[in-house]
């Protein structure tokens, strides 16, 4: 699929699509191109009636180091893509451009992928940092390799959490606060105990385990799978998930605006050093 620059689109069997993040040298840091490639790949799988299960994986030792903070021309890069949301104004002044960009490619994409009416399975290895969580949390099932670790370090950067604020639903309110306040790593085993991860398997068995589950799911009628997914998602939404996430997103943009006024950049540079160090160390 030559139109995809940063992800691979595989069809390992008749009813399964497998999307693979493919910037291993950058630890699968997500730039604008990768997010649009991901969206194109998810759309392709969603709209292919033969596909019943969609898998998401990452090449290299780590699943994703998060958003690519080194991308210098993010607003200009928006012009290179056909946007899928209804916001625009990538070159507006003040808070407008950043909010529009994040509504489109961050919370917008993650929410969009969460609502694909087909089962999605993330197979995860190594480290998953901040924006990396926004790729796996929208998936229905998460299979983690032993030793994989999860982190949201955005509070140290003067922001109250990643844009797709799934923490309370993924790990519970109390652990969500600890995760945000401390930026401590969450182990795969702890993530499983908290309900964020379905299974922890030896790294060498990760893909086979995920594929085996995908095949078992794909043996079921697709319409029933869609209905089951919609029913569980509705249960989360009845608890106010979406409204709470939208509130968190607004607070996230208060933080960006505050940081721009006080520090002249979207994040607090006093917390940036250890965060960037963390990214470069993986
Ligand atoms: Zn942001």
> Tens-digit pLDDT profile for the chain (282 aa)?
458 999 999 999 999 999 999 999 999 999 999 999 999 999 999 999 999 999 999 999 999 999 998 888 889 999 999 999 999 999 999 999 999 999 999 999 999 999 999 999 999 999 999 999 999 999 999 999 999 999 999 999 999 999 999 999 999 999 999 999 999 999 999 999 999 999 999 999 999 999 999 999 999 999 999 999 999 999 999 999 999 999 999 999 999 999 999 999 999 988 766 544 444 444
Q: In angstroms, what is the span from residue 172 Cα to ligand 1's centroid?
A: 22
Q: What is the pTM of this model?
A: 0.95
Task: Check residue 69 and give its pLDDT.
Answer: 84
Q: In angstroms, what is the span from residue 253 Cα to ligand 1's centroid?
A: 7
Q: In angstroms, what is the span from residue 11 Cα to ligand 1's centroid?
A: 33
209 vs 49: CA distance, rounded Å: 24
Q: In angstroms, what is the span from residue 223 Cα to ligand 1's centroid?
A: 36
Outline where the chain has alpha helix (H): 32-47, 74-78, 96-105, 107-114, 133-136, 167-171, 173-182, 188-194, 206-218, 222-238, 241-263, 269-280
Q: In angstroms, what is the span from residue 45 Cα to ligand 1's centroid?
A: 28
The residues near 205 (Cβ < 8 Å, ≥ 6 apart) are none
Q: In angstroms, what is the span from residue 185 Cα to ligand 1's centroid?
A: 21
Q: In angstroms, what is the span from residue 98 Cα to ligand 1's centroid?
A: 8
For strands 7-13 and 16-21, give the pairing.
antiparallel
Q: In angstroms, what is the span from residue 173 Cα to ligand 1's centroid?
A: 21
Q: In angstroms, what is the span from residue 164 Cα to ligand 1's centroid?
A: 10
Q: In angstroms, what is the span from residue 193 Cα to ligand 1's centroid?
A: 29
Q: In angstroms, what is the span from residue 256 Cα to ligand 1's centroid?
A: 7
Task: Check residue 18 and give its pLDDT.
Answer: 98
The dihedrals phi and psi of 19, each to the nearest 5 degrees, come to -105, 130
Q: How many CB atoms lie within 10 A of CB 280?
A: 10
Protein residues near ligand 1, an ion, with CB under 5 A: 102
Q: How many CB atoms lie within 10 A of CB 24?
A: 13
Name the CATH topology of 7-207+221-277.
Answer: 2-enoyl-CoA Hydratase; Chain A, domain 1 (3.90.226)
Q: In angstroms, what is the span from residue 102 Cα to ligand 1's centroid?
A: 6
Task: Check residue 270 and give its pLDDT.
Answer: 84
Task: Check residue 5 and give its pLDDT.
Answer: 96
CA angle 137, 122, 59 (to 5 degrees): 120
């Amino acid at each position: 699929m030559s139109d995809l620059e940063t992800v691979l689109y595989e069809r390992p069997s008749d009813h399964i699509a497998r999307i693979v993040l493919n910037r291993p040298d950058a630890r699968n840091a997500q730039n604008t191109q990768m997010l649009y490639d991901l969206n194109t790949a998810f759309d392709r799988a969603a709209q292919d009636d033969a596909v019943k299960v969609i898998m998401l994986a990452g090449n290299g030792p780590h699943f994703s180091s998060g958003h690519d903070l080194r991308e210098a021309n993010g607003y200009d890069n928006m012009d290179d893509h056909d946007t899928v949301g209804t916001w625009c104004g990538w070159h507006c002044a003040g808070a407008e451009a950043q909010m529009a960009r994040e509504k489109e490619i961050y919370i917008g994409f993650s929410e969009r992928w969460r609502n694909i009416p087909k089962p999605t399975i993330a197979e995860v290895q190594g480290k998953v940092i901040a924006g990396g969580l926004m790729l796996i949390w929208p998936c229905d099932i998460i299979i983690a390799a032993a030793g994989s670790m999860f982190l949201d370090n955005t509070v140290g950067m003067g922001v109250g959490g990643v844009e797709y604020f799934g923490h309370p639903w993924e790990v519970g309110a109390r652990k969500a606060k600890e995760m945000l306040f401390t930026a401590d790593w969450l182990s795969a085993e702890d993530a499983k105990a908290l309900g964020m991860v379905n299974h922890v398997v030896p790294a060498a068995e990760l893909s086979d385990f995920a594929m085996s589950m995908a095949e078992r799911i794909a043996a079921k009628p697709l319409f029933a799978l869609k209905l089951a997914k919609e029913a569980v998602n509705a249960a989360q939404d009845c608890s106010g998930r979406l409204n709470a996430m939208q509130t968190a997103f607004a607070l996230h943009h208060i933080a960006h605006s505050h940081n721009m006024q006080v520090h002249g950049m979207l994040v607090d540079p006093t917390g940036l050093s250890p965060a960037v160090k963390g990214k470069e160390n993986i």
